[in-house]
Structure 1
């Protein structure tokens, strides 16, 4: 359904519809959701509908929010997709766990020269709030942006890759610390994320105009706190634009739109 809160006659879709032709705002109601909510559906060139769960593009929204704000979502949804937002961990949890058909997560990054790239992950899901919205996925599908979620060897320590991986990490905010660090990464970085001890990918970081920033810019802590994806650009380069979007695996297409269905899934589960 397009955004029309008064129209409750038809059963609302559980996610962005497969055959929608126009990107825009739609009401959806995942299987276990108590009520409908608004999402931005991005329709790609194959006509497939991605549900966008994060958007950064101009630094207009402060991503240094508390646990409840990240749970419920913040920012602004616009029909022209020209605003920054976080859809909300609870909404993403409901979306990604509602079916036997798993979801694909796509990370999109764009640097300050306009170069764009993607990274796709299979069987993405967020756990419940009881599990602190734990991020899990099965494997990295591909994409020129590279697999920053798997961690990165910065050359500082043999444990770099292990302590910068994000798969299996719980969500942290400045008022709810679930990371592996002695301190509070979310508080130091000024944003919520699936923190390990450190990070190799962090799309909710501080918005630095121009891209390159330094330890002096990242005060008071001096840590790399920008919008980073280190397999695409260094940890001292902050992206101009990013998005995170999800789609059911049986609607995910590559190589001219070839469709993939995970083992054991049934058509019509979503």
Structure 2
């Protein structure tokens, strides 16, 4: 439209100037292809525009058509937008509120589930914190133990266990030779092929006890087989703090070597700290060919009672006869030499001079606190503790026991240690 207005203005201007003298001619004018032979005067421009007007009008018509098409497209787009807006509003109005309620409910359930999960995780965190605290306490204890061990390790170490230099055929002979210190000594009984180690209790009066058995804290399991009871097991220590069985073969060699018989003393401590003992005169353990049979002449005395003679438990009139131990062979779980149709050593958990079965059993199972029940006794339910029935009941297990021997000429008639010269004229052995 602007081009058309310009063309009309130029055409009018040419009409007004057509009668005037052409004063715009110049000799320096250079003809151009656009205006033919004329220089570009006002009328020349008008002629040029007039000649190109049809082309311009055609272009303008085409531009009008394009503009109208664009206008139609814009209107269609506006109508589409309005339709989409109306559709969205209608969709919102037509949706049921239950859907949103259901979605809200699902969201609440998710929140509750997450809350439960958080509570469970907090509980786990608390347990882990408790465990961590316990571990920290344990670590502190271990550090303290490490410090104690380090201090102990700074002390000079002894390369070997201290063994006293004096030897003899038993601890009494060692004491007769001047030993006055209890500890570990080598003895060599008359029939022994080689010497072996024992613990000797030696007092200031010169009495020397050869220790055959120790029970102190349950640190050694006494449920052993025949060979182990024959050879001995446990640990000998110079400070006498360990548990052991010296061995049936060594007991045989020690108890049968002299014409002067031995006293067997059994010492016991219960869980109240009370100490009692029982002594048996002319104690002997036979050879392996006789299954290390236990024999003694008589009950020498003591305040623990004579459980080796059997005990009437009230179950059967023959209880006392069938629970005596004098003359019984040694039995283990793998070598049954008792008078019972079953295996007493297997049922009662350890080797001993079993009858049918026992009123005394110093090799029984160690029970902390002493008292136990048939249920505690395990599979067989028999009284398998460390028993001495003439002191405590069969359901009471001793805390500590000792079996030791000494020549009878070191004892008086009352059971107290006496001077050798006061016993029937028997001299030192």
Shorter-chain TM band:
over 0.9
> Within the alignment, does 1:86 sit opposite 2:241 as a pair?
no
Partner of 2:251, secondary structure, is helix
2:163 — aligned with what?
3
1:14 — aligned with what?
169
Count, aligned residues: 262
Structure with the higher fraction of residues in strand conformation = 1
2:102 — aligned with what?
none
TM-score norm. by structure 2 comes to 0.59
1:249, distance to aligned residue in structure 2 (A): 1.1
**C-alpha distance in structure 1 between counterparts of 2:426 and 2:211, whole Å:** 24
2:383 — aligned with what?
224
Gaps of 5+ in 1: none
Q: Provide closer, same or farther for how the CA distance between residues 45 and 203 of structure 1 changes in structure 2, counting only shifts above 3 A.
A: farther
Q: Deviations over 1:182-210 (max 9, x none)?
A: 11010111100000011000000000000
Partner of 2:351, secondary structure, is coil
Asked if structure 2 preserves the Cα contact closer than 8 Å seen for 1:249 and 1:260, the reply is: no
1:252, distance to aligned residue in structure 2 (A): 2.7
TM-score norm. by structure 1 comes to 0.92
1:21, distance to aligned residue in structure 2 (A): 1.2
Structure with the higher fraction of residues in helix conformation = 2
**C-alpha distance in structure 2 between counterparts of 1:153 and 1:229, whole Å:** 13
Asked if structure 1 preserves the Cα contact closer than 8 Å seen for 2:420 and 2:426, the reply is: no
Q: Provide closer, same or farther for how the CA distance between residues 31 and 143 of structure 1 changes in structure 2, counting only shifts above 3 A.
A: same
Q: How big is the alpha-carbon RMSD for the aligned residues of Structure 1 and Structure 2?
A: 1.8
> Within the alignment, does 1:200 sit opposite 2:371 as a pair?
no
**C-alpha distance in structure 2 between counterparts of 1:158 and 1:24, whole Å:** 46
Asked if structure 1 preserves the Cα contact closer than 8 Å seen for 2:420 and 2:427, the reply is: no
Please point out which of 257, 262, 270 is paired with 2:418.
257
1:229, distance to aligned residue in structure 2 (A): 0.3
**C-alpha distance in structure 2 between counterparts of 1:256 and 1:93, whole Å:** 24
State the structure with bigger RCO (CA 8 A, min sep 6), 1 or 2. 1
Q: Deviations over 1:1-36 (max 9, x none)?
A: x826xx7xx8x4100023431110000000000000
Q: Provide closer, same or farther for how the CA distance between residues 256 and 101 of structure 1 changes in structure 2, counting only shifts above 3 A.
A: closer
Gaps of 5+ in 2: 1-161
Asked if structure 2 preserves the Cα contact closer than 8 Å seen for 1:105 and 1:121, the reply is: yes
1:258, distance to aligned residue in structure 2 (A): 4.8
1:227, distance to aligned residue in structure 2 (A): 0.2
1:134 — aligned with what?
293
Q: Which has the larger radius of gyration?
A: 2
Equivalences for 1:1-270 in 2 at 5 Å? 3=163, 12-16=167-171, 17-19=174-176, 20-44=179-203, 46-253=205-412, 254-255=415-416, 257-259=418-420, 267-268=427-428, 270=429
Q: Deviations over 1:140-161 (max 9, x none)?
A: 0110111000000111111000
Q: Provide closer, same or farther for how the CA distance between residues 30 and 255 of structure 1 changes in structure 2, counting only shifts above 3 A.
A: closer
**C-alpha distance in structure 2 between counterparts of 1:44 and 1:215, whole Å:** 42
**C-alpha distance in structure 2 between counterparts of 1:238 and 1:87, whole Å:** 21
Asked if structure 2 preserves the Cα contact closer than 8 Å seen for 1:18 and 1:251, the reply is: no
1:262, distance to aligned residue in structure 2 (A): 7.5
Q: Provide closer, same or farther for how the CA distance between residues 44 and 160 of structure 1 changes in structure 2, counting only shifts above 3 A.
A: farther
